[in-house]
C-alpha cells in the first residue's frame, strides 16, 4: 500500500473491532467529548450513508446476493466515495473526523476469504488515519452484547467472530510494523466509561 498520510487541518480518528465490541457506543461518546472540549468533531461510519454504502447494507442483510470479490470491491468503492464526499471535505475545513470502522475492518473481515494483498491494493487510495483504535473484546462477550439485535448478518456467529479477531490482530501487526500506521489496541471488555477514558488518553495526544 502506498501510504497516504493525512496532512489536512483536522485529525482523522478511526475505531475498529469485531461486531459488538462497542464501536458505535464509543464513537458517539468520544465525538461528544471532543466536541465538548472545543475540538470540533464529525462522527461517521462505514459502510457509509452514500449510494454504495446502501448496496453494502443490502448485501450484509442478505437482501442481495453478491460474491466475496464483488463485496470487497464495493467496500473499496464506498470508502473512496466516503473519503471524497465526507471525510476529506471535513478534514480540509479543520473539522476532526471519527469513523466507526474503516479499511482495517475490511482487511480483517474479507481477509478470511480473499487474498490480503489484493484487498490492500484495491484500497491503495485510502488515507491512513492519524490514529486507529482497535477495541479488543472477547468474542463471547461480543456475542452476548449483540444477541438482542437478532439480525442475521454475515459476521455475527461466534467461530466467525473469533476468526475475525485473529485476522484483525494480524492486520494490525502488519500495518504497524510495515507502515507505522499508529493502530492502538484498547481493552474493550471493561465498563463503557473506562473504555472511553482509555481511548481518549490515546486520542488526545493528537491535539
Ligand X SMILES: Nc1ncnc2c1ncn2[C@@H]1O[C@H](COP(=O)(O)OP(=O)(O)O)[C@@H](O)[C@H]1O
One of 11, 14, 16, 21 touching ligand X (CB under 6 A)? 21
Tell whether residue 195 is a contact of ligand X (CB under 6 A).
yes
Q: Which member of 19, 78, 130, 156 binds ligand X (CB under 6 A)?
A: 19
CB of 125 to ligand X, least distance (A): 25
Q: Does 145 bind ligand X (CB under 6 A)?
A: yes
Instruction: Number of residues interacting with Mg ion: please give it, by CB under 5 A.
Output: 2
Which region, judged by CB under 6 A, interacts with ligand X, from 61-69, 73-81, 115-123, 187-195? 187-195
21 binds, among Mg ion, ligand X, none (CB under 5 to 8 A by kind): ligand X
Least Å distance, CB 183 to ligand X, is: 17
Residue indicated by cell numbers 450513508 = 49
Supply the DSSP string of 12-46, one letter for each residue. EEEEE-STTSSHHHHHHHHHHHHHHTT--EEEEES
Alpha helix ranges (H) inside the chain: 23-36, 51-60, 68-82, 88-92, 103-110, 116-122, 139-146, 158-179, 192-203
Q: Does 112 interact with ligand X (rule: CB under 6 A)?
A: no
Instruction: Find the binding residues for Mg ion in span 7-46 (CB under 5 A).
Output: 23-24
Crossing angle of helices 103-110 and 68-82, rounded to 10°: 180
Q: How far is the CB of 100 from ligand X (least distance, A)?
A: 6
Neighbours of 160 (CB within 10 A): 16
Is 188 within 8 Å of 195 (Cβ atoms)? yes
136 binds ligand X (CB under 6 A): no
Question: Per CB under 6 A, does 156 bind ligand X?
Answer: no
From 36, 38, 159, 191, residue interacting with ligand X (rule: CB under 6 A): 191
Write down the residue that cell numbers 471535505 correspond to.
Answer: 89
Instruction: Write the DSSP symbol of residue 206.
Output: G
Residue 191 interacting entry, from ligand X, Mg ion, none, C-beta within 5 to 8 Å by type? ligand X
- CB under 8 Å to 89, separation ≥6 — which residues? none
Amino acid at each position: 500500500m502506498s501510504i497516504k498520510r493525512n496532512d489536512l487541518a483536522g485529525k482523522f480518528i478511526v475505531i475498529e473491532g469485531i461486531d459488538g465490541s462497542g464501536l458505535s457506543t464509543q464513537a458517539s461518546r468520544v465525538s461528544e467529548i471532543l466536541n465538548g472540549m472545543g475540538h470540533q468533531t464529525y462522527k461517521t461510519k462505514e459502510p457509509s450513508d452514500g449510494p454504495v454504502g446502501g448496496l453494502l447494507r443490502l448485501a450484509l442483510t442478505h437482501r442481495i446476493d453478491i460474491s466475496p470479490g464483488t463485496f470487497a470491491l464495493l467496500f473499496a468503492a464506498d470508502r473512496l466515495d466516503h473519503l471524497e464526499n465526507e471525510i476529506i471535505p471535513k478534514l480540509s475545513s479543520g473539522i476532526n473526523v471519527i469513523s466507526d470502522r474503516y479499511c482495517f475492518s475490511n482487511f480483517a473481515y474479507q481477509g478470511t476469504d480473499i487474498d490480503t494483498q489484493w484487498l490492500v491494493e484495491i484500497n491503495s487510495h485510502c488515507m491512513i488515519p492519524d490514529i486507529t483504535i482497535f477495541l479488543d473484546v472477547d468474542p463471547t462477550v461480543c456475542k452476548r452484547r449483540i444477541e438482542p439485535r437478532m439480525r442475521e448478518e454475515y459476521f455475527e456467529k461466534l467461530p466467525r467472530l473469533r476468526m475475525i479477531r485473529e485476522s484483525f490482530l494480524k492486520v494490525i501487526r502488519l500495518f504497524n510494523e510495515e507502515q507505522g500506521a499508529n493502530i492502538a489496541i484498547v481493552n474493550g471488555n471493561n465498563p463503557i466509561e473506562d473504555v472511553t477514558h482509555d481511548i481518549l488518553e490515546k486520542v488526545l495526544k493528537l491535539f
